[in-house]
Chains A and B, each alone.
Chain A
Amino acid sequence: MNAPVFNPLLPLRPALDHLDWLEAEAIYILREVAGQCSNPALLFSGGKDSIVLLRLAEKAFRPGRFPFPLLHIDTGHNYPEVIDFRDARACQLNERLIVRSVESSMSRGTVRLKSADESRNKHQSVTLLEAIEEFGFDACIGGARRDEEKARAKERIFSFRDEFGGWDPKNQRPELWNLLNARVHKGENIRAFPISNWTELDVWQYIEREGLALPSIYFAHVRPVIRRGSLLQPVTELTPARDGDVVEQLRVRFRTVGDITCTAPVESDADTVHKIIAETATTTVTERGATRLDDQASEAAMEQRKKEGYF
């Protein structure tokens, strides 16, 4: 194993470029989920990260069917373009899509909002845990990335969740080499993150390389918005303009797509994947910093949500 001291002046010709490597690792992780777990599900929201997951699942399992259904936890506050895309993509792949909604949890009384306009984003956790119990899933595959947020930087690729769905940062399994441990007792489960090691830029480069279709709101379009601090609040039925608000028609795109009440677009002229990549490579604000109204609350907002069962 004693390699000679390398010469910094010699050109390198790695067989795999960085996207090849990330793709191969993600396929490996998906196949480990399929090989180790008896009843997994893949979380698919219609967002770009989960769209990438579906392409990776095709590469991992075709010509076979996926060894898991797709699962979406719908807050009921999603952009219609994204929901339409979700349904069309599942249909095109001929895979089973299960949708469970926060509204059903509300009518069961397991989710109670503090006020009618409270964001439902964090309440997805309750509905997700209910779906896990209903179907007996022992693993959920998600599109989270370690570069997104501080509480994600220490996340395992196979993240252990106890019977209550909670993430205990002090009780995570050491993860060595590529030896992943998905063993759980009944009631516990694993959250598996095949694109843990990808950055936002990697995701966009992969979308371009694979020619993946995306919901239209990822591309620059004109939309009524209100400036709130450094963020843009879209004007929608759920988030109407209040008295005194100045509504502007701006050219914007979404960097992340989630619950309408907590996802903000950014000003942009990028109407193609190529232009988005150029913008991403030169942006000065983090993905969540530019777009998430829910992580602004405190330094530890994401860490707290994960402990409560968020993915």
Chain B
Amino acid sequence: MSAIEHIPEFGSPVDNGLLRFLTCGSVDDGKSTLIGRLLYDTKAILADTLHAIEKTSLRRGMEAVDLSLLTDGLQAEREQGITIDVAYRYCSTGRRKYIIADAPGHEQYTRNMVTAASTANLAIILIDARKGVLTQTRRHSYLAHLVGIPHLVVAVNKMDLVGYDRAVFERIRGDYLDFASQLGIEEVRFIPLSALNGDMLVDRGDNLDWYEGPTLIDILESAPVAHSESDERFRFPVQYVCRPQRADDPLLHDYRGFMGRVESGEIAVGNEVVALPSERRSRVKGIELGGRALQRAVAEQSVTLLLEDEIDISRGDMIVRGETKESALVTRRIEAMLCWLGECPLDAQRKYLIRQTTRDSRALLDGIAYRLDINSLQQVAAEGLGMNDIARVAFKLAQPLVVDRYAENRATGAFIVIDESNNNTVGAGMIL
């Protein structure tokens, strides 16, 4: 096994930011081996960890080191032979840092995968070359598409077990594209792999000469990061208001800073802004980050905004740009795709709490249009929802929310449902 070769010298000025991606697959399709190989080849695995899995591999009677052991879970999971939930792994090539969300297969799959997908910008969907496109491939692809992951990579793994046969790869590609177009998935990349032998992961290997596309690591190194692709409309949910009210410092006496993260778009000093839902208007007087004055702030920066007028803004309000007609929707009713995560079924009689950006509202179910059968991808009638169900629903809201369609803005179109009896997060919604 060889380490990555093109890592630039440490301290190199190349920093392509951070990419969050997700791997989807079940127990047998080599997902753990793929992640283990990526971690190993990018040197995220250090000698003591490697030594520990070497010992375990030997104990279990294996000839080679089983890299899938790198993603082995908790004692509680080993005891019960199940995987409880998403694990996060980290690696870096020196050019780019990666956060890998490793969602387990089978049990509670929908819940785990939706969770892992919610923060990912790219998904690797693994297919076993011997088995081709399966029901679970359709399920993974649908969920990745539902949660709005912009980049899908279909990795046809275990090419070594089909003699690195190009025809097998092409047939799987054809099958996948057939159903992807039915789902509305337009952009997808295909790559043949052997995670076990490391072919086309970091190194090209000698076995797949007919494949001329990029290696998996090349794809990861060059995928656009989330904020470079996000909605261009400025969205700034207010998290916290800073009012030092320091009598001893005349500069700070009247200081009122609105703190939050730019979820999309950008803002500059002098821009006109509107606070929603109040619709009060003002103009940006200053932008600060850690005591430093900025001229502008862009998506994903956490900053403080200072406004020219003393208008009443508090946590939960949304600041948007004032000059253009790019205003978000202020509404007391939302329609959404809802994934139910709670162990107790959704109760249509009960009030739940909905949290969207930094804002909360009590909510009451206002109808289930249909439930989606995740295996057949058919819409079926439903009275209620249980754990792992996905449905199109409507909610009535006690307080107005400031929303965008999820398809246009993941940050302002997403919400969670909280059960106030135990404060658990029991649902995840995407506004239509």
Contact = CB atoms under 8 A, between A and B. Distances in A.
Contacts of A23: 302
21 contacts: A3-B187, A6-B151, A18-B97, A21-B18, A35-B239, A61-B259, A63-B255, A64-B242, A64-B257, A147-B90, A150-B73, A153-B89, A154-B85, A154-B87, A170-B76, A181-B416, A199-B90, A199-B92, A283-B46, A286-B49, A299-B75
A92 interface: no
A51 to B, nearest CB: 15
A96 interface: no
Contacts of A196: 88
Interface stretch (B24-32, B204-212, B218-226, B270-278): B218-226
Contact of A281 (B10, B99, B243): B10
Interface residues on A, range: 35 or more
Nearest to B188: A5
A243 interface: no
Sort A-B residue pairs by CB-CB distance and give the 3 closest, nearest first. Answer: A14-B17, A59-B290, A289-B48
Interface residues on B, range: 35 or more
A32 B151 contact: no
A107 interface: no
A146 B90 contact: yes
Contact of B355 (A4, A169, A179, A303): A179
Contacts of A172: 85
B289 interface: yes
B84 interface: yes
B75 A303 contact: yes
Given A18-B96, A197-B90, A289 B46 contact: yes
A285 B48 contact: yes
B174 interface: no
Contact of A154 (B73, B224, B243, B358): B73
B240 A154 contact: no
Given A179-B355, A289-B49, 11 more contacts: A1-B148, A1-B408, A15-B298, A34-B240, A58-B290, A59-B291, A60-B259, A61-B259, A176-B428, A185-B422, A303-B74
Contacts of B416: 176-177, 179, 181
A115 interface: no
A303 B299 CA distance: 36
Contact of B228 (A14, A65, A67): A14
A17 interface: yes
B200 interface: no
A194 B162 CA distance: 46
B111 interface: yes
A28 interface: yes
B407 A146 contact: no
A24 B225 CA distance: 15
Interface string A10-35: 10101111101111110110011011
Interface string B229-268: 1000000000110111000000010010101110000000
